[in-house]
A and B are shown apart, each in its own frame.
Chain A
Amino acid sequence: MGAIVRKEYDHFIGGNWRKSGSGKTIDVLNPATGELLTRVPAGDSRDVDAAVAAAREAFVTWGKISAVERQGILLEIANRIQKRARDYAELETMNVGKPIREAVNIDIPAAIDHYRYFAGVLRDIQGLTQSIDQNMLHLTLREPLGVVGHILPWNFPLLLAAWKLAPSLAAGNTVVMKPAEQTPLTLLELANDLREVLPPGVLNVVTGYGPEAGAPLASHPGIRKVSFTGETTTGRLILQYASENIVPATMELGGKSPHIIFPDANVERAIEGVLIGVFFNQGEVCTAGSRLFVHDAIHDSFVEKLVAKVKGIKVGDPMKEDTQLGAIVSREQMEKILSYVEIGKKEGATLLCGGTRPSDPALSKGFFVNPTIFGGVRNRMRIAREEIFGPVVSVIRWNDYDAMIAEANDTPYGLASGLWTENLPLAVNTAKALQAGTVWINNYNSLYAGAPFGGYKKSGFGRECAFETLQYYTQTKSIFVSTAEKPIGLY
């Protein structure tokens, strides 16, 4: 079967489709055409209550099954996605607007890989033992938390669901996930595809708007952890809910990542890295290398080559195999990006290319923005400080190393960073100086199941994608075992 979109979706709760209590729906659009793809429920607290109840019930048995069994199930999830990989890729492209080559080669394989990775490492969820003295043995168990609530963003729907779902299940938790209202389709399809793989209630998906479905989930007294990827203020709100329930949280928030070009950089590779850094997924990536620091000594020639390369980027129908830059996820997001272009011009930055919608009439109904470069940017400008979340890069000229590092770090965020140099000591020392959760040396936007991902500063806390992630989905039980045969003699 191809990527057939159902006419209408319901929530997926307790192993089945379930109608929303609200009766209201949300239109899900194809951002490349503006056309209606399908409708999903605009869920509310009643649906969240039902989903949390189903997850709590499922946890009673799921939390106790053996590691071997959980491992088999995670591997089977990977296999199920693999079997329909092309469908998932097409559905993701239709719903998000990302080029099909990215969905096929990155989103879906990386999602599959996360289930396989966590299937493997879950066998290493272990405690410690110690002999306290002759009569006392102590051991720790890593136990699951219970129901985890996940609030997902719209840029990598199936992949970021995997980042959260795989470790949650690996550790023995059950989940309620709220995908972004714009891009819920692949996760709903996955939940349905896993009917025979997961016991009912282990994975529940509630669709809806943030204030109506997200807030009741994040604040629900039945959840034992909340994880959120999204905007900083909403992150603060969710943390306030978590503080009421005294539950842990994982936060992956914004970024405004510096991407640094040293004078000895391999220019050809670096230019490709810049493109991967800011035009991958239309720049709708929290790690986007949106502040490009280019050294004065090579600035003019580097920027000239960059502009020439960017002008050749193929913007178009995301379903076409040769499209390099697809559609922006929604009209609103497109408008916001274009408003930043105006802000940049007003601030005195030089628009070197892009900044407009494509003139191709075939794309006029979709939400497209040409790849955009601003030159002459100062780090204090709004386009260098605020996350645009679109295909826009701000080029900042530098020549003093210390001043450049200070500027690179002069942002509330600290999600990612990148640098290009052939000088190994310089590369490593710069990596140490950058206040960011990830540093890419002579590459950009590389991610790997097994490499921790997360932010410094206001980009959040907690780490995903890695072995340590399992710590965030388990809690420690300390068990003291007395082997004494006689009373201690205190009473």
Chain B
Amino acid sequence: MDLRFSERALGLLAEIHGENRSDTLVILIGGGCCENTAPILMKNFRVGQSDRLLGEAEGIKVYAAAEMYPLVSATPSIIDVTDGRGAGSFSLEIPRGVRLTLRPLPG
């Protein structure tokens, strides 16, 4: 799929990766409940056999869970960062007061 990353997202991912050198970081596009469809950046998460690879940036692979893949892969999208915390998820950027977002590319 066409998955891009904003400059700000790349900077944030590089920073968090730099602070967690000994851990494997991964993003899974999650959904449901209070978080909607959002990139969840996790430490030492074991990717499952049914998760599908969407892209990679700063040494961090981005996957979608099987049920999310048809939805997110159909739309060219960008992973970006916005101010304000997320909705209570375990995503690693949350304590910084920012959150990763997945939004369709314009056009």
Contacts and interface: CB of A to CB of B under 8 A. Distances in A.
Interface of A: 42, 153-155, 180-182, 209-212, 214-215, 229-234, 236-238, 240, 253-255, 284, 286, 329-333, 335-336, 339-340, 343, 346, 382, 385-389, 412-413, 458-459
B91 A254 contact: no
Nearest to A286: B33
Interface residues of B, number: 36
12 contacts: A182-B88, A212-B95, A231-B35, A232-B31, A236-B45, A236-B48, A237-B42, A254-B31, A333-B34, A336-B36, A336-B87, A413-B32
Contacts of B28: 233, 236
A335 B84 CA distance: 10
Contacts of A388: 36
Contacts of B91: 210-211
Interface string B73-107: 00100000010111111111011000100011000
A331 B98 CA distance: 12
A332 B87 contact: yes
A386 B30 contact: no
Contacts of A335: 82, 84
A346 B104 contact: yes
Nearest to A229: B33
A325 B41 CA distance: 33
Contacts, number: 134
Contact of B32 (A155, A253, A346, A382): A253
Given A209-B94, A240-B45, A332 B30 contact: no
Contact of B82 (A210, A211, A230, A332): A332
A459 B103 CA distance: 24
Nearest to A219: B44
A333 B87 contact: yes
A230 B33 contact: yes
A232 B85 contact: no
B94 A389 contact: no
Contact of A332 (B32, B42, B71, B86): B86
Nearest to A234: B90
A42 B85 CA distance: 13
B46 interface: yes
Contacts of B29: 233
A234 B89 contact: yes
Of A182, A209, A412, most buried by chain B (CB within 10 Å of CB) is A209
Contacts of A255: 32-33
A268 B91 CA distance: 43
A186 B15 CA distance: 35
A254 B31 CA distance: 7
A458 B84 CA distance: 28
B53 interface: no
B36 A387 contact: yes
Contact of A232 (B33, B45, B86, B95): B33
A395 to B, nearest CB: 20
A232 B94 contact: no
Interface string B60-73: 00000101000100
B12 interface: no
B32 A232 contact: yes
B104 A231 contact: no
B90 A237 contact: yes
A254 B28 CA distance: 16
B104 A230 contact: no
A343 B104 contact: yes
A424 to B, nearest CB: 33
A211 B84 contact: no
